[in-house]
Structure 1
Amino acid sequence: MASSLTKGAAEQEKTSPGAGGKTFLGHPLGLAPLFLTEMWERFSYYGMRALLVLYLMAGGPDAKPGSQGGGLAMPEASSFAIYGVYAGMVYLLAMPGGWFGDRIWGPRKTVAIAASIIMAGHLCLAIPGKPSFFIGLALVAIGSGLLKSNISTMVGHLYDGPQDPRRNGGFTIFYIGVNLGAGLAPLVIGAIGQKVSWHLGFAIAAIGMGLGLIIFLLGTRLLSPESSVVPKPLPADERKSILMKALLWFGIAAVFYGIVGGTGHFTQKWATIPLALLGVAIPAAVLVRIKRDKELTSDEQTKVTGYIWFFVAAAVFWMIFEQAGSTLSAFAEKRTSDTIFGWQIPSTLFQSINPIWVMAIAPVIAWLWLWLARRGSEPSSTVKFSVAMVLIGASFFVFAIPMSTATEDSKAGPMWLVMIYMIQTIGELCLSPVGLSLTTKMAPVKYASQMMGVWFLAVTAGNCTTTLLREVGGLDLNGIGVILGQATAAVLAAFAVWMYRKKIEALMGDVR
């Protein structure tokens, strides 16, 4: 298997994408293993994500009465905080993941290593006990960060540059794999983990990632030779300097937490609050560093200023959207009826609603933009962002209704969650593809490959803001006031983007 990562270009040319006229749905054959690898990776990730908060609470005072025990018996607030930091770190680590692909291993080798780390993480989660759980969680976050940027890069390598007419269609098929894995995961991993055994569910997630790794290794001969190339190799002296700095910071952290733990002062907040602060500070620092780079042209500087508007709006959007795995998950478990047409279902199945809506609605939204474009009426990117922000705010205004009336004895109907996820999904489809497109168009030439990681940092900032609201602000994320406050913040952000859209569009230059 190791040799498949280091084949020479001449040998790989014999089996280059699309060799022999064969295709995968009209695309290079290499898209098939990448599609399936990403599908199984998302299957493992979203399956574990569906179980995470419920497992943390299981057996504790905030768990649903009569539910399966054997979890970590944590309070709901602590579980939400851990979830927020974990989800934030997955996206934060996408930036160093891209760096490893660009400077150390190359995309192909990085993905193989990442998949192995993810699988090891899920196997750790399958072992009962708090130490193995948090080690597993860290490994899954690290592996997901390494994989996220690099597998998308390899999809791009399959095509003849940005102008290849098949390129957008290839990424669309790839995105279907993402949602297919995300949609199936709660139905399998979630249901088995919640109803049979938490650790069996985590073990199935490991099997899913193992299948993805095997498919990837077997399919490397179909990938572009470019995917095994390290674009900008790290010189030996620079590698040594970075290693020494990393060891220094690791040593400082080890000493600090050794003192805190040794004196008996360590609590969960000593872990979640610093990580959440980093999750907000690092995105801000990265944007400031790019903005202040004197090597950028005046036009690039202006576009970065315009991009910051979209970044902040996206962070507010993801702050609400990402609570599907925490606030909405707990609501589904404890205050939503689990009986549909006489069938009792595990609450984790509600986590499948969003990807199902994506696959159902995405073609309609794509058709709508094309239809409007032909008539010269397609909304600008700023308007699309405003619509997305209004919709995410509206979803929490709607959420406040069942949250204020439902109890563990008088539960809300499942259609409330179906409706909330539908509203959020339409908002997601107005914001996420547009944000990805804007990121590639507005990126300075110097930071062209890094800006995709910057876009993911908006998700990190949103998740970590939620954790800080709980851990530092002491806010109850289930409180009606907090839910309405977040909804209001989203609508106000939409209003700000709408009101200043002319100014923002002027900053965007020739980008629309």
Structure 2
Amino acid sequence: MASSLTKSSPPSHGSEKTFFGHPRGLATLFMTEMWERFSYYGMRALLPLYLIADEGLNLDAGTAVAIYSVYVATVYLLALPGGWFGDRVWGPRKTTAVAAGIIMAGHLLLAVPMDAVFYVGLLFVAVGSGLLKANISTMVGHLYDGPDDPRRDGGFTVFYMGINMGAFAAPLVIGTVGQTVDWHLGFVLAAVGMGLGLVQFLVGTKHLAAESSVVPKPLSAAERASTLRKAMYWLIVAVVFYGVVGGTGHFTLKWATVPLLLLGLLIPVSVLVRIKRDKELTDAEQSKVSGYIWFFAAAAVFWMIYDQGGSTLSIFADEHVNTEVLGWEFPVSWFQSVNPVLIMALAPVFATIWLALARKDKEPSTIVKFAGGLVLVGISFFVFLLPLVASGDGKVSPWWLVLIYFCQTVGELLLSPVGLSVTTKMAPAKYASQMMGVWFLAVTAGDAVTGLVAEAGVDLNRTGFVALEAALAAVVGIGIFLNRGKVKRLMGDIR
């Protein structure tokens, strides 16, 4: 295993076998990511349902949403230090391999029928996912001859399809076994999926670029010692604090979830403030950061609603959606396959539309696409109001959820790729490699708000609050559109 992490041959573009016309290493990363997403989305489809199930943890819906939100927020929060770890400590390849092992161990811990062990398993999966997320994408880029390689964008498109293939299959397999056979066996299947991904990665690592084994900017001895001291300091503070809380009998689940949710909100804000206050940035870079804050805040609102597709909507479906078709009942977790299958079907359509409009010089601007994504995610929750009102104590058609997920998916295709693109374009040179992690922090901030609202006792399936969220997204989207001239000026030469 050690040798496979340190030896490689650089990608060849000659007579060597290819993967859909791309370097062979893309097949390795494609399969690794597909299996990692299979394990992640399979477990995520089960998580809120297991938390509220009588044979699961038997928690109330609000606590389940809060835990789900903490988990998702933590995954994206840890993507930033995960990228730093790959850059400064182990390099992308070794970090990815270790991360896959941590994720697999986490899923196995989830399968242990003990509450305390279950939460430790969630922590393992979150840490592993954060370590893996940024580094595996970095290695895809290493396969190509710089940013001008004409195959580069296509390679990332193929890689993106692997993500959605895993996400589509996971609820159908892991969700079915978990809900109909045994919850813990479902979590074991998630571990098996990640194990297959790890084996695929180790076997195919020889096809990766040599650059993926290099630590781009290794820590100096002084920096390593300083980092370890700071980590030990905060670890001791946490151990002492929670030791006192637990020892005095005051510990509840909120003592774990609320601090994490507050961090998920405060860290993104503090990172943006630190970048904005950096005196080394030029006036043009300062202006672009100010413009980027508009996109970041809007994205946080988008993800706040969008990510409830796996929690609030899933819990609603478990209680109020008819899952019987022609006398055959399907598991509620299957709804989590709707988004990835729509992504795979609609992404090529959108790509074709943008190219056609670009040829006519009529492609919508970044700001207009972003505004459209927000309005659509708002519409999805306006649609959600209809089955909420109609359900009462009965069941509603599953097509309501399909329509909601359709609106959210179209919104995602308008906002998410644009957000990734505008992040790289507007990043100050000093923060070029960090800004992608900053973009992920928008997801963290959005989920942190959802979790804090749930912990405050607000019923997220209440019509009044759903309407408020829908209106917020629509107003923010319209607000960005109406201020597009101001935002465009802040963006400078970025369209």
TM-score interval for Structure 1 and Structure 2 normalised by the shorter chain: over 0.9
**Which of residues 33, 41, 50 is equivalent to 1:46?**
41
Shift of 1:18: 4.3
Q: Which consecutive segments of 4 or more residues in structure 1 shift more than 4 A?
A: none
Show CA shifts across 1:121-164 (max 9, x none). 00101111101101100000000000000000000001111111
**Which of residues 428, 434, 443 is equivalent to 1:459?**
443
- Is residue 31–residue 197 contact of structure 2 (8 Å, CA) maintained in 1? yes
Shift of 1:20: 3.3
Which residue identity does 1:192 align to in structure 2? V
- What is the correspondence of 1:349-388 to structure 2 with a 5 Å cutoff? 349-388=334-373
Shift of 1:407: 3.7
Shift of 1:17: 4.4
Give the TM-score of the pair, scaled to structure 1.
Answer: 0.96
What does residue 202 of structure 2 align with? 217
What does residue 160 of structure 1 align with? 145
- Is residue 18–residue 30 contact of structure 1 (8 Å, CA) maintained in 2? no
Is 2:410 the partner of 1:415? no
Is 2:472 the partner of 1:508? no
Show CA shifts across 1:368-409 (max 9, x none). 11111111111100000000000000000000110111144x
What does residue 66 of structure 1 align with? none
Which residue identity does 1:438 align to in structure 2? V
What does residue 12 of structure 1 align with? 9
Secondary structure of the corresponding residue to residue 149 of structure 2 = coil
Return the alpha-carbon distance in structure 2 between the equivalents of residues 401 and 370 of structure 1: 36
Secondary structure of the corresponding residue to residue 219 of structure 2 = coil
What does residue 57 of structure 1 align with? 52
Return the alpha-carbon distance in structure 1 between the equivalents of residues 380 and 192 of structure 2: 35
**Which of residues 417, 421, 430 is equivalent to 1:446?**
430
What does residue 293 of structure 1 align with? 278
Return the alpha-carbon distance in structure 2 between the equivalents of residues 469 and 75 of structure 1: 14
Shift of 1:297: 1.3
- Which range moved further: 141-150 or 493-502? 493-502
- Is residue 62–residue 458 contact of structure 2 (8 Å, CA) maintained in 1? no
- Is residue 303–residue 443 contact of structure 2 (8 Å, CA) maintained in 1? yes
Shift of 1:6: 1.2
What does residue 131 of structure 1 align with? 116
- Is residue 17–residue 224 contact of structure 1 (8 Å, CA) maintained in 2? no
Instruction: Give the root-mean-square deviation of aligned CA atoms.
Output: 0.9
Return the alpha-carbon distance in structure 1 between the equivalents of residues 450 and 14 of structure 2: 48
Return the alpha-carbon distance in structure 1 between the equivalents of residues 408 and 94 of structure 2: 36
- Is residue 37–residue 215 contact of structure 1 (8 Å, CA) maintained in 2? yes
- What is the correspondence of 1:34-113 to structure 2 with a 5 Å cutoff? 34-59=29-54, 69=55, 71-113=56-98
Is 2:216 the partner of 1:231? yes
What does residue 313 of structure 1 align with? 298
Which residue identity does 2:477 align to in structure 1? A
Show CA shifts across 1:67-103 (max 9, x none). xx2x111111111100001100000000000000000
Secondary structure of the corresponding residue to residue 419 of structure 2 = helix
Number of equivalent positions: 495
What does residue 310 of structure 2 align with? 325
Give the TM-score of the pair, scaled to structure 2.
Answer: 0.99
Is 2:116 the partner of 1:119? no
Shift of 1:304: 0.6
What does residue 410 of structure 2 align with? 426
Is 2:24 the partner of 1:29? yes
Return the alpha-carbon distance in structure 2 between the equivalents of residues 35 and 19 of structure 1: 21
Secondary structure of the corresponding residue to residue 21 of structure 1 = coil
Return the alpha-carbon distance in structure 2 between the equivalents of residues 135 and 470 of structure 1: 22
What does residue 263 of structure 2 align with? 278
5+ residue gaps, structure 2: none
Secondary structure of the corresponding residue to residue 9 of structure 2 = helix
Is 2:480 the partner of 1:497? yes
Show CA shifts across 1:218-259 (max 9, x none). 111100101010000000111111111111111111111111
- What is the correspondence of 1:198-209 to structure 2 with a 5 Å cutoff? 198-209=183-194
What does residue 468 of structure 2 align with? 485
Which residue identity does 1:4 align to in structure 2? S
Return the alpha-carbon distance in structure 1 between the equivalents of residues 362 and 196 of structure 2: 45
Shift of 1:266: 1.0
Return the alpha-carbon distance in structure 1 between the equivalents of residues 177 and 483 of structure 2: 49
Show CA shifts across 1:341-373 (max 9, x none). 332100000110000100011111111111111
Which residue identity does 1:305 align to in structure 2? S
Which residue identity does 2:22 align to in structure 1? H
Which residue identity does 1:12 align to in structure 2? S
Which residue identity does 2:372 align to in structure 1? V
Return the alpha-carbon distance in structure 1 between the equivalents of residues 211 and 266 of structure 2: 34
Return the alpha-carbon distance in structure 1 between the equivalents of residues 136 and 34 of structure 2: 11
Return the alpha-carbon distance in structure 2 between the equivalents of residues 429 and 394 of structure 1: 15
Return the alpha-carbon distance in structure 2 between the equivalents of residues 506 and 142 of structure 1: 39
Shift of 1:19: 5.8
- Provide closer, same or farther for how the CA distance between residues 80 and 156 of structure 1 changes in structure 2, counting only shifts above 3 A: same
Which residue identity does 1:428 align to in structure 2? E
What does residue 331 of structure 2 align with? 346
